[in-house]
């Protein structure tokens, strides 16, 4: 990659960005006619949303252990025979589990360009819950939701469950229940391949993008060298903004950044993890028995190798699967 005399990245990256915009538009069109149950968001994917500086962040809420969820009680019921009066029975009656997730997080929840289906590690987490309820993992409806609607969608019942690279924290626990932790991630930074930056601290005064409503956005503003947080509707929009030279970098969980780097030969992920991001699935607080049920499914799948097989399917390129996160209960 070359640079212009003014130090900006040359037009190669901009051209790549325009290709990504066009490709994303094609994916949206494919998805719209694929028969997928997932509705497309109202905003146009791939078009960079206007940049907004992140608001001042309050001190983190440490009033709880965000990793500790509700302990399962008893054995799992047989698929198709959910306890009367339980939320699982209501889901069974509805004929499908409604999963809230994104469609542009490669490896975790992204649209397959050939089938138009949303797939990935997070989606498979949802499919495993559907299989436990129905005996069929395909009894699932995927509802694409924005990052900043993940908590509200779970809280108000717009979806049955959210699995969307979502960090369990104390502030969110006040509005929703989280499952036990199903994945351990950490925040890093993506920069151009010719960038001298080695870590987030090297980006002081530079624009660094993250999705609105993500913990990543607030974490950028806490760095002592004062990088400038820039909010976009999705991380897909961040990638387009990065490729069009609107921002210097993107910062979020390492797993999400790895998917972005795989799409852009002129990008690299740098620096150590500077946060811990324990992922949990979010559900309404109105149905604690559902959270306990989900935790029982996760416990079973940790023990029988399903979690490891899911990791190897989607994230095996990162190396040997680690041990599944150990469940903690309240």
Structural contact between residues 126 and 310, judged by C-beta atoms closer than 8 angstroms: no
> Are 160 and 263 contained in the same domain?
no
Structural domain harbouring 192: 11-35+44-55+185-270
> Are 78 and 172 contained in the same domain?
yes
> Are 226 and 85 contained in the same domain?
no
| Alpha-carbon span 121 to 107, nearest angstrom | 6
> Are 115 and 255 contained in the same domain?
no
What tokens does 304 get? 């029988």
Q: Bridge-partner residues for 270, per DSSP?
A: 189
Note the pTM of the prediction, 2 decimals. 0.77
Residue 162 sits at φ, ψ, to 5 deg, of: -115, 125
Please indicate, yes or no, if residue 60 is contained in any of the structural domains.
no
For residue 303, the SS3 value is helix
Please indicate, yes or no, if residue 325 is contained in any of the structural domains.
no
> Are 174 and 289 contained in the same domain?
yes
| Alpha-carbon span 13 to 242, nearest angstrom | 9
Please indicate, yes or no, if residue 124 is contained in any of the structural domains.
yes
Residue 284: CB partners within 8 Å, gap ≥ 6?
154, 155, 156, 157, 176, 177, 290
Of the candidates 178, 141, 116, which has an alpha carbon nearest to the alpha carbon of residue 330?
A: 178
Q: What is the pLDDT of residue 269?
A: 95
What tokens does 59 get? 């001190």
> Are 99 and 190 contained in the same domain?
no
Q: What is the pLDDT of residue 123?
A: 98
| Alpha-carbon span 100 to 163, nearest angstrom | 6
Angle between helices 288-303 and 87-94 (to 10 degrees): 80
Q: What is the pLDDT of residue 235?
A: 87
> Are 98 and 177 contained in the same domain?
yes
> Are 101 and 153 contained in the same domain?
yes
Please indicate, yes or no, if residue 326 is contained in any of the structural domains.
no
> Are 131 and 214 contained in the same domain?
no
- The string of DSSP letters for 251-268 reads EEEHHHHHHHHHH-TTEE
Q: What is the pLDDT of residue 217?
A: 94
Cβ atoms < 10 Å from Cβ of 194:
12
In the chain, which stretches have pLDDT less than 50? 1-55
Q: What is the CATH number of the domain that holds 289?
A: 3.40.190.10
Q: Domain end: 234, 252, 270, which one?
A: 270
Q: What is the pLDDT of residue 62?
A: 82
Angle between helices 87-94 and 121-134 (to 10 degrees): 90
Please indicate, yes or no, if residue 135 is contained in any of the structural domains.
yes
> Are 137 and 189 contained in the same domain?
no
Q: What is the pLDDT of residue 30?
A: 31
Structural contact between residues 147 and 164, judged by C-beta atoms closer than 8 angstroms: yes
> Are 175 and 92 contained in the same domain?
yes
> Are 256 and 174 contained in the same domain?
no
Q: What is the pLDDT of residue 236?
A: 87
Q: What is the pLDDT of residue 255?
A: 84
Q: Domain end: 270, 286, 305, which one?
A: 270
Torsion angle, CA of 170/318/272/253, rounded to 10 degrees?
-40
The number of helix segments (H) and strand segments (E) in the chain equals 10, 18
Q: What is the pLDDT of residue 56?
A: 52
Please indicate, yes or no, if residue 322 is contained in any of the structural domains.
no
Please indicate, yes or no, if residue 128 is contained in any of the structural domains.
yes
Of the CA atoms within 13 Å of residue 275, those in its CB half-sphere come to 27
Please indicate, yes or no, if residue 2 is contained in any of the structural domains.
no
Of the candidates 211, 216, 215, 214, which has an alpha carbon nearest to the alpha carbon of residue 233?
A: 211
Q: How many folded domains does the chain comprise?
A: 2
């Amino acid at each position: 990659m070359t640079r212009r005399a003014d130090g900006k990245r040359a037009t190669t990256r901009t051209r790549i960005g325009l290709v990504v915009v066009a490709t994303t538009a094609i994916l949206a069109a494919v998805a719209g006619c694929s028969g997928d149950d997932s509705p497309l968001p109202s905003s146009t994917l791939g078009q960079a949303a206007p940049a907004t500086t992140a608001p001042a962040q309050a001190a983190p809420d440490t009033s709880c252990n965000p990793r500790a969820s509700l302990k399962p009680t008893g054995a799992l019921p047989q698929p198709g025979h959910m306890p009367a009066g339980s939320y699982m029975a209501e889901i069974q009656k509805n004929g499908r589990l409604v999963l809230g997730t994104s469609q542009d997080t490669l490896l975790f929840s992204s649209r397959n360009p050939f089938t138009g289906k949303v797939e990935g590690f997070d989606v498979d987490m949802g499919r495993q819950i559907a299989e436990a309820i129905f005996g069929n993992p395909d009894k699932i409806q995927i509802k694409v939701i924005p990052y900043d609607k993940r908590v509200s969608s779970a809280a108000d019942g717009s979806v049955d469950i959210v699995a969307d690279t979502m960090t369990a924290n104390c502030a969110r626990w006040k509005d929703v229940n989280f499952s036990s932790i199903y994945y351990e991630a950490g925040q890093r930074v993506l920069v151009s391949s010719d960038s001298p930056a080695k870590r987030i601290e090297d980006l002081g005064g530079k624009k660094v993008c993250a999705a609105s409503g993500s913990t990543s956005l607030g974490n950028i503003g806490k760095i002592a060298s004062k990088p400038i947080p820039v909010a976009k509707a999705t991380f897909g929009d961040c990638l387009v903004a990065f490729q069009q030279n609107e921002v210097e970098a993107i910062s979020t969980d390492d797993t999400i950044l790895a998917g972005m780097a795989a799409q852009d030969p002129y990008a690299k992920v740098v620096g150590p993890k500077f946060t811990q991001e324990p992922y949990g699935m979010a559900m309404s607080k109105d149905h604690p028995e559902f959270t306990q049920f989900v935790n029982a499914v996760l416990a079973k799948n940790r023990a029988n190798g399903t979690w490891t097989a899911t990791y190897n399917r989607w994230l095996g390129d990162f190396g040997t699967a680690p041990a599944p996160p150990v469940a903690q209960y309240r």
